[in-house]
Structure 1
Amino acid sequence: MKMYRKLFWTLIHGFAMLPTIAIRDSHVVNRKLVDVPQFERPIGNHTFHIGKEALLGCSVINLGKHKVGWLRAEDQTVLSLNDRVVLSPRYSVNLDTPSTWQLRIRPLRAEDRGCYMCQINTQPSMKWQIGCIDVYVPPDIINEETSADVSAQELDNVTLICRASGHPPPKITWRREDHEPILLKKVGSRDFYKVESYTGSSLPLWRVDRRQMGAFLCIAANDVPPAVSKRIILNVNFSPTVIVPNQLLGAPLGTDVVLECTVEAYPNTINYWLKNRGEMLLDGPKYVIGEERSSYRVMMKLTIRYFSRSDIGTYNCVSTNSLGKSEGTLRLYEIKLYPSSQSSAEVNIGGLTEGAVKQKTFNNSTNKLPRTLNIIVLLILLLLYC
């Protein structure tokens, strides 16, 4: 009986001691955990611009006698061990605080984009964590893959191409250098529609028209300054077309007369004036010859000084280039001046002025007719009563 009683009290004592033993064991375990190196916070992912400095921080607590190393995660290339750099002078490591090992990369290159590993040489297995960097690169036009200046025949199909490098990938926008809208056609359509800008690496121009020629700007941007652009000139070749605004001109003798023709052509034309389809007119005291060029248009002007009867006749404006030849015809005649009682508006230069003056004279003569009839009637009545 005494034996059972002793065993009972032994068990009670053992149960009473269990919490104390558990607390003591937990202290031992916690002490072991505290002594093991731990990462204090994640490295994280970061973005930097090319040419600048990249900075990654690895915070370690309870490092003790262990060492910290940095490696490229992709190929396990060792960059540093503690504060000693292994790979390149572009890399450096410093202890920012008692627990943070900083990896610096300067100057940053595009190939530095990727993930980096911070490693602690614990045993039996090493502890590590990874942080990544993204390198932003401003856009750059790839000249080898971008259109140079383009020449095409009218109604040909043309595609302007622009390629650019950069990270993130750049967006390509097309604009006209003269700030005019871009004229585009849908395939199979003759009608144009206008856009202020066009987005895409290729600008398709279906059955190109002379009105589309000019300088285009290919602009590459990816929100990393600066944006870049390239100027591409589109030339559309076509034979000359001559437009004559006034084909019949009249002028009083002794005045200066200006004849005009508009020429549309590309490439540039050779222009000249003929009189009565024989004599080529030259710039001098009698004739003043001039041109005003704008893109593919040329305004030809011929000024005839002191218009005389010998200047009456037919004049031709002739334009020629490597693709063809065209001409326009103008006829010049004399407007006769009438007595000064007429208004100055009745002697203006123009094809219909002389006819208008003759019509007014006819109207004046018809206004005098009723007065003459009245006088004749009075004379007849006098004869009858006498």
Structure 2
Amino acid sequence: MSVWGHFVAFSKCTALLSLRILLLVPAGLPVHSQGDSLSDNKVMDNITVRQGETLILRCAQGDIVTHTAWLNRSSILYAGDEKWSVDPRVSLVTLNQEEFTIKIENVDMTDEGQYVCAVQTSSRPTTTVIHVLVQVPPKIIDLSRDIVVNEGSNVTLMCQAIGKPEPFISWKRISSSGDLATDDDYLEIPSISRQRAGTYECTAVNDIDTDTQTVDITVNYAPTVSDGRDVGVTLGHRGVLECEADAVPEADFEWYKDDRRLSNGFDGIEIVHTGSLSRLTFFNVSDGDYGNYTCVAINKLGSSHTSFLMYVVIEPTSSTLLQGPKAVQDGNGTAMGVHLDTCLFVIMFIPFLMKF
């Protein structure tokens, strides 16, 4: 037989088979039939299934069944025990005079819609219509990336999700207070401050499940330096000046004595920066180390500074107690020396006064 002959034979076979299906399932598959005594049309309740689950479609038969088929919209899934669908998820479960059941595994949104069971019995054809609803858990599909902004900028965060039923979107700031929240796809933060920096959580929720993702906001701001504290140090001892700065990004530090910038290792000093803290250490304080110092904290948004005074403290000894007012200084003049002088004067004259 020629190729054309094979094609003609195949076309006739397809036409006959299609004709049998069309006779079995009338065009349009009416859901309600009024006054039709030749066929029965039944509308079943909706079936709701979650995405990823297995859908079972059952069709009751009865009498002597001559033809039977399951259809999805315009596609034939099964005609009797013959599978027409090429979808591997579709399979036959039961086929007998009482029941014609198929299943669809790992259901997806594309499986939603109308399904028809068409049965031809010895008495009349019947159709059963089932509408399948597929529920889909929420999934966040579009979310703002982590951002870095300068203090005072306007910030907008976006969170969009899909799902069925349609997900409800909400935002909140993850902190002890949770002081910023909204029920919208977009979160607006006008003129953001450093206190608003942190992690923000978007939640998408529907009747099926919840999806949550987070966005980090980093707020840059200029340094703020804590007030310097004066330090008294004894000659030849160890002295430490500490400078702390609050800044994002972290500040770089510079140290000055009067107008001269200090370098690490210069004149026996050590400068160490650890995060927000800078420490200036004198391992063996000399006379030239006493005086005024300035710490400057700098980042790309600005700078801040504070001043320190390192003054001399003389340790009291048995010899210095006899030297009077020049013995001890505590950074407040010679007050302690005056008190010691008065005390020694009283002690020296007590025996003399007792003679009278």
* TM-score over 0.5 (shorter chain): yes
Question: d(CA) in 1 for partners of 2:134 and 2:265?
Answer: 66
Question: d(CA) in 1 for partners of 2:202 and 2:237?
Answer: 52
The alpha-carbon distance between structure 1 residues 67 and 355, as it changes in their structure 2 partners (threshold 3 A), is: same
Question: d(CA) in 1 for partners of 2:167 and 2:238?
Answer: 60
Question: d(CA) in 2 for partners of 1:92 and 1:151?
Answer: 54
Q: Give 2:22's aligned residue.
A: none
Q: Is the 8 A contact 2:254 2:261 kept in 1?
A: no
Q: Is the 8 A contact 1:269 1:319 kept in 2?
A: yes
* TM-score, normalised relative to structure 2: 0.71
Max Rg structure: 1
Q: Give 2:60's aligned residue.
A: 59
Matched, 1:289 2:271: yes
Residue 191 of structure 2 aligns to a residue whose secondary structure is coil
Moved over 6 A (4+): 36-39, 122-125
| AA aligned opposite 2:277 | M
- Residue by residue over 1:75-96, the C-alpha shift from the partner in whole angstroms, topping out at 9 and shown as x without a partner, is 4443332232333333233425
Q: Give 1:19's aligned residue.
A: none
Question: d(CA) in 1 for partners of 2:287 and 2:186?
Answer: 61
- Greater helix share, structure number: 1
Displacement after TM superposition at 1:312 (Å): 0.9
Q: Is the 8 A contact 1:162 1:218 kept in 2?
A: yes
Question: d(CA) in 2 for partners of 1:111 and 1:290?
Answer: 64
| AA aligned opposite 1:59 | A
Question: d(CA) in 2 for partners of 1:45 and 1:118?
Answer: 14
Residue 195 of structure 2 aligns to a residue whose secondary structure is helix
Residue 163 of structure 1 aligns to a residue whose secondary structure is strand
Instruction: Give the count of matched residue pairs.
Output: 310
Residue 61 of structure 2 aligns to a residue whose secondary structure is strand
Displacement after TM superposition at 1:320 (Å): 1.9
Q: Give 1:241's aligned residue.
A: 224
| AA aligned opposite 2:161 | A
| AA aligned opposite 1:91 | V
Displacement after TM superposition at 1:210 (Å): 0.9
Residue 162 of structure 1 aligns to a residue whose secondary structure is strand
The alpha-carbon distance between structure 1 residues 280 and 100, as it changes in their structure 2 partners (threshold 3 A), is: same
Question: d(CA) in 2 for partners of 1:355 and 1:325?
Answer: 32
| Unaligned stretches of 5+ residues in structure 2 | 1-36, 321-328
Q: Give 2:240's aligned residue.
A: 258
Q: Give 2:32's aligned residue.
A: none
Q: Give 1:10's aligned residue.
A: none
Q: Give 2:190's aligned residue.
A: 206
| AA aligned opposite 1:254 | G
- Residue by residue over 1:106-144, the C-alpha shift from the partner in whole angstroms, topping out at 9 and shown as x without a partner, is 2322211233222334799853233233323333321xx
* TM-score, normalised relative to structure 1: 0.66
Matched, 1:159 2:136: no
Displacement after TM superposition at 1:234 (Å): 1.0
The aligned runs of 1:117-132 (5 Å cut-off) are: 117-121=116-120, 126-132=125-131
Q: Give 1:312's aligned residue.
A: 290
Q: Is the 8 A contact 1:182 1:212 kept in 2?
A: no
| Unaligned stretches of 5+ residues in structure 1 | 1-35, 185-196, 343-351, 380-386
Displacement after TM superposition at 1:366 (Å): 6.0
Q: Is the 8 A contact 2:238 2:283 kept in 1?
A: yes
The alpha-carbon distance between structure 1 residues 340 and 168, as it changes in their structure 2 partners (threshold 3 A), is: farther
Q: After alignment, is 112-121 or 323-332 more displaced?
A: 112-121
The two structures, once aligned, show a CA RMSD in angstroms of: 3.9
- Residue by residue over 1:235-278, the C-alpha shift from the partner in whole angstroms, topping out at 9 and shown as x without a partner, is 2222222222x332212223322222222223343322222221
Q: Is the 8 A contact 1:256 1:306 kept in 2?
A: yes
